[in-house]
Amino acid sequence: MSESLRFPVTLFTTKKRFNDFGAPDMRYGDLSESTLKHSLGLINISNVADPYRLVQLTPFDNPQSPFAGVYINRQPKMLTVKECASLLFDEMKRISLPFSLYGQYRHLINQMLNHMQNNTGAAFIDGQLHLAYKSQILNDRNTNSTRNTIIKVLNRHASYINNAKAGTLIRELAENINSSMLPKFNTFADQFNGMGVTVHDVHATKIDLIDLEQRQNRWRARVKYTAQDHFGLDISDIQNKKFRQFQFFKIWFILQRFERFGFRPFMTNMEATIDLEGALL
């Protein structure tokens, strides 16, 4: 083994930074009512509360309800900012169901909404999130996934670890991982198991080689993935038709970005350590 090589060795880090609190989707409480209504077209936000007038809504106020407009002179119930926010969060938790219909991770979205409602801005760390991330890595059958890419490189060059070519092996791994597909929650199943809405894309990823052993024609490796996403929305998100069509995301955007509320987005931290093995070609 080359004396210059010491484990762990970082094989890859995304250009997007960890703990990037200056990212557009990490802003909060920065938009006025005028901007939200007139520039972004966010007018009809909720079925239970009007965040602009701070009033509670009933079926008589919902344009899609058969009871709309029945009581023209009815006086709506006024709300405090805290009461209005509470109603909006409760509504989000109810209507999150289409994004988390099944699976062991379906409860994560409401846990993360509770975390946002606490408004500390602290990172979200949960064992189930780690499990989901590890499962995604292990079960990704794409031939260009990072896992499969690492296996292919080690099948060719794992023996380098025991001689002066150890540095070459690390460079080979780094170059190939750089052109591979990083773990993300963007499959069809992720649209309904809760992961597509809680994480979906992953903002930053780091991959470390923790250990590598090669004996005869077999090798074993341990690889650690560290990842971070942002539980927050930027303006391009809410302008995207995919998100804009759902009331869930409009409420989320208002709670985060409207200057009246300003609930803080946060980092979601994930990690997974996987064991790999193979045979030299």
Query: Alpha-carbon dihedral of residues 152, 153, 156, 162, nearest 10 degrees?
Result: -140
What percent of the chain is predicted at pLDDT more than 70? 90
Looking at 96-187, list the stretches that DSSP marks H as alpha helix, in order from N- to C-terminal side: 108-118, 127-139, 146-157, 166-178
Rounded to two decimals, the pTM is 0.88
DSSP run (H or E) holding 272: strand 266-279
pLDDT at res. 2: 44
pLDDT at res. 1: 41
pLDDT at res. 122: 97
Residue 195 has pLDDT above 60, yes or no: yes
Residue 197 has pLDDT above 90, yes or no: no
Angle (CA) 276 175 130, round 5°? 45
The predicted model gives 152-160 an average pLDDT of 95
Per DSSP, the three-state class of 34 is: helix
Closest CA to 116 of 255, 269, 257, 19: 255
Average pLDDT, the chain: 90
**CB-side exposure of 172: number of CA atoms within 13 Å?**
18
pLDDT at res. 141: 87
Residue 56 has pLDDT above 90, yes or no: yes
pLDDT at res. 198: 80
Closest CA to 210 of 220, 200, 201, 197: 220
The predicted model gives 120-145 an average pLDDT of 94
Higher-confidence position of 248 and 62: 248
Residue 62 has pLDDT above 90, yes or no: no
